[in-house]
Copies of this chain bind each other. A is one copy, B any other.
Amino acid sequence: MIDCGEGTQHQIKCSQLKSSKLHSIFITHLHGDHCYGIFGLLHMLKAGNRTNPLHVYGPIGIQSLITNALYASGGWNGFEIIIHELGVHGTKYEQDTILNYCTTSETKPPSTSPSQSYHQTSFQVILNPQNKCQFRYKPNQIISLGEIDFGISAFACPITHRVETFGYVFIEKDKEGILNAAKATALGAKGPQMGMLKRGIDVTLKNGTTIYSKDVVGDNIRGKKIAVMQDCSYIDSAFEIAKDCDVLIHECTYDQSHYDNAITFGHSTASMAATHALNLKAKFCCSHNFPGFFFFLHITQKIY
């Protein structure tokens, strides 16, 4: 999930999405319309008896924001929340900002009498004890977040907005090429040998003939690349990693007549978004944030 504005949990409930399958949340920046829904979503997942850990990526401050809210609301004894803060080398953020709310417990058992026993309640926020600001980078540096799941690698790119903001790029692993089954059969392959050829293994038949995988399997199919650039004016640092992306999701808040406003408020005009898409050679661009509308720019081709 990219960003988590207020009401996200309600939208998920109205959709066909299964929140239990949620693996990671990538927060672009800490303006409320991009992150104020995360507290409620965490509670919703807990209420659904989630046990798998959930990863949250975001700028320095995301951990404090989440832990403060969970702390105020009585603590957290649900699934593990692994928060990955993205911090800049050499700033005041260099120190870890981890908040230790795993305090001594003041738990009192629930009372069946109308006493004040609930007033001094216990609280406990359990976060990954290894949770630190794992990702240090220099301005403009692309941050590799590693393989997050399903063979997808993620990258964070600092982009220009009014507060610290990241674009995210997701790159799917290349897939095996397509087996030319007719050709392989004609050469004498059969049964499990077909699978071996597809996996790149050459097969020697009983008659001593060798069928080379490269002769019957096409080139690897390039994994899809998706780039998400939420609120921003410039995405320079993202260009190298996001170029040739299959899908670019990019905000545009203004039309070109409000270019000055876009720059002042760290946003983009529709023209700026389209320019970014063209420079990246994005195959497909979905621009949003233009008050209430989504619109789509087919840059070179539609990919799905």
Q: Which residues of A pack against B, CB within 8 Å?
A: 6-7, 9-10, 30-33, 35-37, 39-40, 43, 61-62, 64-65, 68-69, 71-74, 88, 91, 110-112, 114-121, 139-140, 158, 160-165, 233-234, 236, 263-266
Give the docked Cα–Cα distance between A138 and B72 (Å): 21
- Is A118's CB under 8 angstroms from B68's CB? no
Other-chain residue from B72, B112, B160 in contact with A116 (beta carbon distance below 8 A): B160
- Is A110's CB under 8 angstroms from B266's CB? yes
Other-chain residue from B7, B65, B164, B233 in contact with A69 (beta carbon distance below 8 A): B65
Other-chain residue from B74, B161, B264 in contact with A163 (beta carbon distance below 8 A): B74
- Is A139's CB under 8 angstroms from B114's CB? no
Give the docked Cα–Cα distance between A74 and B163 (Å): 6
A93: nearest chain-B partner, CB-CB: B120
Contacts of A64 in B (CB 8 A): 68, 72
Give the docked Cα–Cα distance between A167 and B211 (Å): 80
Give the docked Cα–Cα distance between A62 and B73 (Å): 10
- Is A112's CB under 8 angstroms from B263's CB? yes
Known: A10-B7, A37-B6. A164 touches B32 (CB 8 A): no
- Is B158's CB under 8 angstroms from A69's CB? no
18 A-B pairs with C-beta separation under 8 A: A6-B9, A6-B39, A31-B74, A32-B43, A33-B40, A36-B40, A36-B69, A64-B68, A64-B72, A68-B68, A110-B264, A114-B236, A116-B158, A116-B160, A117-B160, A118-B163, A121-B163, A121-B164
